[in-house]
Amino acid sequence: MVKLGLVEESAQIQLAIELIQLGARLQLLESQTDLSRERLIKLYKELKGISPPKGMLPFSTDWFMTWQPNIHSSIFLNIYRFMVEYADVKGIVAVMKAYKIYLTQVQSESDEEPVLSLTRAWTLVRFADSKMLKMMPCKCCGGHFVVNSYDLNNDFVCGICHVPSRAGKTKAAAKAANVAWDEAHALCA
């Protein structure tokens, strides 16, 4: 365990609070701060009123390739890349800033859970950094979407231009994603 000065400790607690409020899981908190697991759990309970969920983080790129998650992941990663390139932020700060913008783009009136959680967004950035996932322009709309680096992506068409039939019953979701997509694009233009 790293011995932290008071100022540094205070800064890390502040970071942990912000991460917890954005929905971070314990593993994410542990990876981004030097605070002890016990302190993080205590902090989590104090803020959320419940214990942090147990269990490992999923270590698979599959989720990001499914239809609706892919659209949301793509919106987030576009914002994230924009932040890193133009807003002079990096690391977890860039993830948090991009995630807050993502929430303003996709969250509806209701208190529904966002499709992409902060922990998933962070995992997505790590997959992109390790080149397991990458961005690919859709040959129809030109928007950049998350794809698996190991797949052949010649003539790639995105999930909005080509909505799979199994997604038919979620036409409303497609429309909502489209609106969010346009807004996210307007932001980056």
- Interface residues toward Zn ion, by CB under 5 A: 138, 140-141, 158, 161
Nearer to Zn ion, 47 or 140 (CB): 140
Question: E strand or H helix at 172, and its extent?
Answer: helix 171-188
Length of the chain: 189
Nearer to Zn ion, 62 or 155 (CB): 155
Fill in the amino acid letter for 157.
Answer: V
The region that residue 174 occupies, defined by phi over 0 for left and psi between -120 and 50 for alpha, beta otherwise, is: alpha
* Distance (Å) of CA 166 to CA 67, 75, 122, 162, 170: 9, 21, 28, 11, 9
CB of 141 to Zn ion, least distance (A): 3
- CB of 114 closer than 8 Å to CB of 100: no
In this chain, which residue has its C-beta nearest to Zn ion? 138
CB of 138 to Zn ion, least distance (A): 3
CB of 142 to Zn ion, least distance (A): 7
Nearer to Zn ion, 70 or 123 (CB): 70
Nearer to Zn ion, 28 or 136 (CB): 136
- CB of 102 closer than 8 Å to CB of 175: no
CB of 143 to Zn ion, least distance (A): 5
